[in-house]
Amino acid sequence: MQIEDGTVPGAPSRGRVVMLVDNDVVRDSRVQKAAKSMAEAGWEVHLLGCTGAKKRRAWKIGEARVRLLPMQHVLLRNQHGVLRATLRRPLAYGHPKVADYRRRLVQSRRADLAAARLDPGSRGPARKAWLLARRVTAKAQSRWVALRVKQTESLAEARGNPRSPMERFAVNFWLKVLGDRAWRVLDRNLWDWDSTYGKVIDKLEPDIIHANDFRMLGVAARSVRRARAKGRKVKLVWDAHEFLPGIRPWGAGPRWLPAMIAHEREYAGDADAVVTVSAALGDRLVEGHGLRGAPTVVLNAPITGGEPSTSDPVPDMREMCGLGPDTPIAVYSGSASVQRGLDIMIDALPRLPRLHVALIVSSARSDYVRGLIARAAELGVADRVHTLPYVPFDQVVPFLAAADIGVIPIHHWPNHEIALITKFFEYSHARLPIVVSDVQAMGDMVKSTGQGEVFHAEDLDDYVRAVEAVLGDPQRYRTVYDDRPDLLHEWTWEAQAEVLDGVYTKLLPSAAKPAPGAPAAGSDGADGADGHLIGAQD
């Protein structure tokens, strides 16, 4: 029997795990590490992500199988952009593109009229009368279209403003009427995720579905319900990465966050086990969702050993930046957005004349990153700002080690206060002094360990002070890692993988690892847990 990629199944697994994530996998180190380590622990792991491309992609991370599913956002609210609201803006066009088309059409007609007036053959009385009539008509049409365009723009702005009275009324109305089911009206795009993943999950017939974050929670919960309705035993693990009420919304419009919160609340109780990134976030989940017990904490720590995911050598950051060993580099690695505060790293460069900045981001072409580069050019420091691509998740630590300072300049948002984030652990294992804003969890940790400096978030003067302090005596901060080896041991993915494996095993006691020398579970010849055959045809 063959699996879908054409290979023959190997040793029996402890159980089949389907991991779900709402991205392209390659930008998410946590899910890559989880998939690889659980496969190494004997689980048959299928990691499903999504792509905007039309064709599916598949590869392996260690022994874990990865597939990207083509994602179509058919139900995205602003995909079709219908704005018509008769009572609010009765003259607004039904779509912003219609408004743009009408405006351009009027402009073209007026341009044609202007050209006709310059025609030498337009000087006769009849021709002049005809042109006058056209001018009057064009002017009236132009004013009418301008009025409707203004109404359209005003309506679009109101719909995108979370403080708009009508939008607040609409959100509150649906939450009052439908409760946690209100997401079905507020953001129907969540059904697109179900359409993309649902059938694939059902076909794989997993023993455990591991849902990463809030979008995948609903997809997984509905898949579990379908499986149980057919008599199959399936367990749901919800991996909560974010404190959803405390994030800065990245979805369009004021309805997105209330919809996501309602969606999460509806399905949180379906989880058989909850894991999360910090105890503080776990407390908030218990409080917000009435969970039966505290979630298990699985830190976003880096892999420090094991087989590499690629045979390619670790890239040299300094070589990529064209810098020698004596030039100081402040590095930022991860998502680039306004709330991450990267602008302070650029604005400080004129006051830190020797320092270079390396931004390791998923895309140097994003509007935000391009804005940072433009700002650097305005300040005359563009030659000291370097944008670098992501490296494989298990090469991040040695790649970062070439820098002199690891920077985490994030702003104060509730979600930023409660956890030590991935880059914090990566900087630590790279033995970098850390300059971090005074968000609670990371600021308190740096103060207690002495591994860096804390500055007031969004305070340029204080940021410069912190960087200068580290550059003045970097070894003072690096020695912390030698003095506290227990700290780095705890902050490894290998330690966290044991915790996650324990969560899976508790859900499927029959899948417990055998004692040394004992035969493996399923060694009677079954292909996978419960005799599953992957991709079997009827």
Model confidence at 44: pLDDT above 50 = yes
For residue 509, tell me if it sits in a domain: no
**Do 207 and 273 fall within a single domain?**
yes
Model confidence at 314: pLDDT above 90 = yes
**Do 412 and 473 fall within a single domain?**
yes
Name the nearest CA neighbour of 77 among 162, 156, 171, 186: 186
For residue 179, tell me if it sits in a domain: no
Environment class of residue 202 by beta-carbon count within 10 Å: exposed (0-12), middle (13-18) or buried (19+)?
middle
Residues 6+ apart with CB under 8 A from 377: none
- The per-residue pLDDT for 303 is 86
Compute the residue count for the chain: 538
The number of distinct structural domains making up the chain is 3
Which of 490, 510, 533 marks a domain boundary? 490
For residue 20, tell me if it sits in a domain: yes
Residues 6+ apart with CB under 8 A from 473: none
**Do 69 and 94 fall within a single domain?**
no
For residue 5, tell me if it sits in a domain: no
**Do 335 and 439 fall within a single domain?**
yes
* Per-residue pLDDT tens digits for 392-416: 888 999 999 999 999 999 999 888 8
**Do 334 and 454 fall within a single domain?**
yes
Residues 6+ apart with CB under 8 A from 178: 184, 185
Q: Give the tokens for residue 172.
A: 């509150």
Contact 209, 233 (CB under 8 A): no
Give the domain CATH number at 395: 3.40.50.2000
- The per-residue pLDDT for 405 is 98
- The per-residue pLDDT for 79 is 46
- The per-residue pLDDT for 295 is 97
**Do 210 and 151 fall within a single domain?**
no
Three-state DSSP class for residue 167: helix
Contact 292, 306 (CB under 8 A): no
* Per-residue pLDDT tens digits for 184-231: 988 888 999 999 999 999 999 999 999 999 999 999 999 999 999 999
Contact 382, 262 (CB under 8 A): no
- The per-residue pLDDT for 531 is 33
For residue 513, tell me if it sits in a domain: no
Lowest mean pLDDT among 39-53, 308-322, 351-365: 308-322
For residue 101, tell me if it sits in a domain: yes
For residue 532, tell me if it sits in a domain: no
Domain that holds residue 149: 87-161
Alpha-carbon distances of 531 from 10, 524, 525, rounded to whole Å: 13, 10, 8
Lowest mean pLDDT among 67-71, 250-254, 423-427, 503-507: 250-254
* Per-residue pLDDT tens digits for 52-101: 888 889 999 999 999 999 998 877 655 444 445 555 677 777 667 777 77
**Do 331 and 479 fall within a single domain?**
yes
Instruction: Report which DSSP code applies to 350.
Output: G
**Do 276 and 198 fall within a single domain?**
yes
**Do 355 and 482 fall within a single domain?**
yes
**Do 210 and 144 fall within a single domain?**
no
- The per-residue pLDDT for 168 is 80
**Do 98 and 206 fall within a single domain?**
no
Element (H, E) at 486: helix 485-490
**Do 476 and 331 fall within a single domain?**
yes
For residue 258, tell me if it sits in a domain: no
pTM of the model: 0.75
